[in-house]
Amino acid sequence: MKGLGYPRVRFGSRLAFGVGLAAVLAALLIMGSGLALAQQTVVIGMLGPLSGDYATYGVSVANGVELAINEANASGKYSYRFVLRKEDTRGDQVQALNAINKLIELDRVTAIVGAVLSGETLTAGPIAQDAGVPFITPSATAPAVSEIGDYEFRNVITDDMQAAQMAEYAVKNLGLRRFAILYANNDYGLALRRAFEAGVRAHGGQVVAVESYLDGDSNFSAQLTNIAAQNPEALYIGGYYTEAAKIAQQAALQGLKVRLMGADGFDSPELINLGGAAVEGALFTSGFYNGTQDPLAAEFVRKYEAAYGSKPDMFAANAYDSARIIIEAIQAVGPNRAAVRDWIANVKDFPGVTGLTTFAENGDAVKPLYILRVENGQFVQER
Amino acid sequence: MERGAHLFGQQLINGLVTGSTYALIALGYTMVYGVLQLINFAHGEIYMVGAFTGLLLVTQANLPFPLALLLAMAITALLGVTIEFIAYRPLRRSSRLSVLISAIGMSIFVQNVALWVWGPQTRRFLPPFPVHTFTVAGLRTNTLELLTLFVALVMMLGLHLLVTRTKLGKAMRAVAQDRETAALMGINVNRTIAFTFAIGSSLAAAAGVMVGMLFNAVVPNMGVMPGLKGFVAAVLGGIGSIPGAMVGGLVLGMAEVLGVALLSSQWRDAIAFAILILVLLYRPSGLLGRRTQEKV
Amino acid sequence: MLDWADGLLRSFINPYYYGVLVTIGINIILALSLNLVTGFTGQLHLGHAAFMAIGAYTAGLLATKAGTGFWAAVLAAGLMAAVAGVIVGLPTLRLRGDYLAIATLGFGEIVRITLLNLDITGGPFGLRGIPRQTNLPIVILAVIFTFLVLRSLVNSRMGRALIAIREDEVAAQTMGIDTTRLKVTSFTVAAFFAGIAGALFAYWFRYLNPSSFGFMVSIELLAMVVFGGLGNLLGSVVGASVMTYLPELLRTVAPAIAERRLVFYGALLVIIMILRPNGLLGTSSEQGWLEIWLARRRSRSPATTSAASGQVPPASTGGAGHGPA
């Protein structure tokens, strides 16, 4: 029974037994009289890739949740003591299923922040739904996630929304007309590609080239040559920062002069670190801006940096807010899974570091979306 | 029409550059296979370690580029010899299956140790010399791309001369033909094989450094796909044949780029493997390889 | 009957361990079937996850698009994978061992990329909405069925012919064994069971994504077979059980080691090949350094020692392998 978090008691002698019994009775008496000496412990779960190729995202989420829980425990404002259980999925379906079963059945969590990737959320989510455990994913953006059920909440802006808003901004505000799309052939990239293409068309722009790549590719020359032949004004990259940085550099070497655009997959200091001058001027959508003036968010950035030595990204910020929503829910209604779900579903304008958060009927968060720009090696707010 | 021809020309240049990266990897593969009849699955990982070593020598030790390249080749050669000593030499008398499984184990081991030590994050590898872009007849290329092609050609020639003109090369060919007879003729078989691995690994290191700079990215899993494609290139050209590795690399690069240009970029990696299977089925000796009878 | 057994099992097994047992069972079927090809027939097959994928997607599509019942879909999944096994096996199994390895690897990648690019499979979004109909009694039944079928197969005349191919293919051929036909048969049977395992996977996980059937899955299956013992069915049961449960155990005890498990899998493959290529319970005639050392210690007389030294892998002299070189 190792590692289950239950204290093991050995009744070595009658004396110990007697003392223990007396202590338990005393504790019951005190609790009964309303003078709780020890707070009741409530377990909150976190599920995501803490190792493997996607570990960067999972670790950010774990940090965000941990920070929120440590803060709550230190504040003394809550009637419960919150305990965090982190489970690693390695970004893998099989591991995700075992991990969520463990959180629910062995750790007896009240609610979960996770999963992080869309694929693992679509595997683990239905398990939590069936078990009646509320969960908030801080980052799974695939459209199908919101169909899991009423115990699912999504505290991140979907791919569809991000791509649609970028398309609208590019056509209407920037006056761009000819677009090329280069997307990662995975659920994230494909969802962005579809929504961006539709958005551009809806606002009267033109998509002149669509190409794809596989995650981890390094050589984009053939795709970029195809794209360059169509003379686009802007290139929308549906993918993550590592590939985006490489694409930006190879595009520059090929003499392709376009405005680079993307979604929250760009949101990492590594974009600038890897891409250097080639990503200057790139625009992307994100639910969080870590250079914000908003006092609540600025305070979070400061605390996160002090605890983990780096600025928080969108994953950490969404996870932090999600954990805080769960903590408030438990404080309000007690550690009852169904009651916590109802509280989350009815939350109105929760003041998070990613803005005021309300969950729509389908569990998707409705909240503001930033458009950020790379300027002199920094992210600045474009809108 | 004019624009179409221009696009095609540019894609051919892309294919040539992509192909020369495969050729660089295929050279080391084909040499080890030629001598040992062993698919060195860890070759892609040796290539990755070579890229990391070169990167660290340039950025951390601030060595001038040619020195860093040579040193990376030397260090990686040592790694190759060590791998041979640990994972292959004890299995000289074992079945082919055991050696292959050991090779795969070594490949997984090296890749994951690298992931452990260096982390999953991609690192950039800026060329430590200025890169000039120029246009010839409307087609763009740059010094880095030309250098990659040049290095591949020089290595192919150097390797060819080594195998055909030197005593060591003679020993390698003798070991490749018949290990026991070679031993009877006074050739130190183990030393010859160790040298083969040293040379093959240093070629992989050079490939890793060049490709790392070309794409400005070094990461622990960078050897997996290029390693497989290097093998496909070697088989396509005729495994064991040194000019074959070059030809196989270039043909594979062209096929992939034309696949993207004419069909769709979604199928690029499938093209390489489809070519592999077709070649294995219809011309297992490859484009330039000789047909050999299996020995009993 | 099955539902009753399931209710009984669920009444005393914690759902977490229940889930772990189901994954162990699915992995046992996969390891058993891979063992037939690699352990008994001696053909290195690096694309087993692809047959699993074909089975999983066949069952998933039948369940979600055609409304096929569970048992029919599972059978169809096995047959579909078997057909793929014939199509892939017929041409590639004529190839020599190491080419086969790379061809099956290439086949695995082609299947994965195809699943990623087809519309009907949901592409990178995956396939959702498969009902959960796999349960522990069904998995246990499938494991027993697989084990019994494979055991009677390897103990049959055909099984002995397969082992002859593994030990020396050229000699087997000269003895009049139709090696290609037998290799294709063993490959097809293995594909069939991998397809069944894939179907059970689909009905358990309810959601399929091409990334669940990558190259590393094939490698982990190979590690299970090698660890348990090439050419020993019980070994595969042990290998799959240990290597599926160990990461789960480490999850609570030592997560840092669980995260690095591939480092150990890689080292394990090399070490087993050197010390005891038969794995824990393997059967082939091949001896590793460990056995040779033990054998030498057992035989005390100097005469036998010098005779046995001919068996020692030549660390310094070198020589041709006993396989075709």
Q: How far is A183 from chain B (nearest CA, A)?
A: 10
The confidence band for B57, taking pLDDT boundaries of 50, 70 and 90, is: very high
Does a structural domain hold residue A30? Answer: no
Beta-strand runs (E) in B167-249: none
Residues A168 and A250 in one domain: yes
C310 within 8 A of B83, measured Cβ to Cβ: no
Q: What is the pLDDT of residue A347?
A: 92
* Residue C304, pLDDT above cutoff 80: no
The residues near B188 (Cβ < 8 Å, ≥ 6 apart) are: B171, C318
Residues A170 and A271 in one domain: yes
Instruction: Quickly tell me which residue has 């799309």 as its tokens.
Output: A181
Most confident of B88-97, B125-134, C187-196: C187-196
- Where, residue-wise, is CATH 1.10.3470 in chain C? 2-275
Predicted local confidence at residue C324, as pLDDT: 34
Per-residue pLDDT at A38: 64
State residue A3's pLDDT score: 38
> pLDDT-derived band of residue B92, with 50, 70 and 90 as boundaries?
confident
Residues in C closer than 8 angstroms to B95, CB to CB, are: 42, 277, 284, 286, 321-323
Of A227, A258, A286, the domain-final residue: A286
Q: Which of A212, A249, A250 is opposite residue B265, by nearest beta carbon?
A: A212
Share the mean pLDDT of chain B: 87
pLDDT for residue A7: 41
Whether residue C247 lies within 8 A of chain A, CB to CB, comes out as: yes
On the question of pLDDT at A349 being above 70, the answer is yes
For the residues B73-88, what does the mean pLDDT come to? 94
pLDDT of residue A16: 55
Q: Structural domain of residue A303, as residue ranges?
A: 40-157+293-368
CB contact under 8 A, C289 and B92: no
The answer to whether B211 contacts A218, with C-beta atoms less than 8 Å apart, is yes
pLDDT the model gives residue A35: 45
Range of the domain at B61: 14-130+137-282
Residue A25: predicted pLDDT: 55
Distance from CA of B225 to the nearest CA of C (A): 11
Distance from CA of A118 to the nearest CA of C (A): 9
Q: Looking at the domain assignment, is residue B36 inside a domain?
A: yes
| Cβ-nearest to C267 among B37, B109, B116 | B109
Do residue A44 and residue A149 come from a single domain?
yes
Domain count, chain B: 1
Q: Considering CB atoms only, which of A223, A255, A274 is closest to B140?
A: A255
pLDDT at residue A199 above 90?
yes
Question: Would an 8 Å CB–CB cutoff place A87 in contact with chain C?
Answer: yes
Residue A99: its pLDDT value, please?
Answer: 93
Among A212, A221, A270, whose Cβ lies nearest the Cβ of B121?
A: A270
A10/C contact by beta carbon, under 8 A: no
Task: Between C317 and B166, name the one with better pLDDT.
Answer: B166
Given a cut of 60, whether residue C114 has pLDDT beyond it is yes
Structure confidence by residue, pLDDT tens digits, C148-200: 999 999 999 999 999 998 888 888 888 888 888 999 999 999 999 999 999 99
- Mean pLDDT, residues B6-35 taken together: 89
* Predicted local confidence at residue A22, as pLDDT: 59
Considering the domain boundaries, does residue B288 fall inside one? Answer: no
More confident residue, B293 or C17: C17
Judge whether A252 lies within some domain: yes
Is residue A276 less than 8 Å (CB to CB) from chain C? no
Residue A258 lies in a domain: yes
Instruction: Please report, for the domain that includes residue A82, its CATH number.
Output: 3.40.50.2300
Domains held by chain A: number: 2
Compute the distance between CA of residue A157 and CA of residue A238 in angstroms, rounded to an integer.
15
Domain boundary among A286, A312, A338: A286
Residue B79's CATH number: 1.10.3470
Instruction: Supply the pLDDT for residue B286.
Output: 80
C262 touching chain B per CB within 8 A: yes
Mark C180-218 as b/e (b = at least 16 C-beta within 10 Å): eebbbbbbbbbbbbbbbbbbbbbbbbbbbbbbbbbbebb
Residue of B nearest to C42 (CA): B97
What percent of chain C stands above pLDDT 90?
Answer: 54
Domain presence at residue B51? yes
Domain contains B6:
no
Closest CA–CA distance from residue B103 to any residue of chain A (Å):
22
CB atoms within 10 A of CB A142: 26
The least confident of A33-47, A123-137, B48-62, B163-177 is: A33-47
Nearest Cβ partner for B179 among C101, C166, C325: C325
Q: Is A287 on the interface with C (CB under 8 A)?
A: no
Number of neighbouring beta carbons within 10 Å of residue B67: 12
pLDDT exceeds cutoff 60 at C303: no
In a domain, B206, yes or no: yes
The answer as to whether A23 is a domain residue is no
Tell if the CB–CB gap between A2 and C23 is shorter than 8 Å: no
pLDDT given at position C318: 35
- Tell if the CB–CB gap between B99 and C273 is shorter than 8 Å: yes
**Percent of chain B clearing pLDDT 90 (strictly above):** 36
- Specify the pLDDT at position B135: 84
Q: Residue B129 pLDDT more than 90? A: no
Tell whether B105 is within 8 A of chain C (Cβ).
Answer: yes
Tell me what the mean pLDDT of segment C91-99 comes to: 77
Mean pLDDT of all residues belonging to chain C: 86
Q: Of B37, B86, B97, which is closest to C42 when you measure between CB atoms?
A: B97
Say if B207 falls within a structural domain: yes
Q: Does B254 touch chain A (CB under 8 A)?
A: no
Judgement on whether residues A345 and A300 belong to the same structural domain of the protein: yes
Do A317 and A272 sit in the same domain of this protein?
no
Please count the CA atoms within 13 angstroms of the CA of C254 that sit on its side-chain side.
5
Residue B4 in domain: no
Task: Using pLDDT thresholds of 50, 70 and 90, give the confidence band for residue C49.
Answer: very high
Q: What pLDDT was estimated at residue B93?
A: 81
Distance (Å) from the alpha carbon of A70 to chain C's nearest alpha carbon: 21
Residue B258 lies in a domain: yes
CATH topology of domain C2-275: ABC transporter involved in vitamin B12 uptake, BtuC (1.10.3470)
Q: Which helix (H) or strand (E) holds A236?
A: strand A234-238
DSSP per residue, B5-22: HHHHHHHHHHHHHHHHHH
C306 pLDDT above the threshold of 90: no
Looking at this predicted complex, what is its ipTM?
0.87
Looking at per-residue confidence, does A91 or A174 come out higher?
A174
Q: Angle CA(C199)–CA(B268)–CA(A186) in degrees, nearest 5?
A: 55
Question: Inter-chain contact A225–B10, Cβ cutoff 8 Å?
Answer: yes
Q: What band does C300 get if pLDDT is binned at 50, 70 and 90? A: low
Q: How confident is the model at residue B2 (pLDDT cuts 50, 70, 90)?
A: low
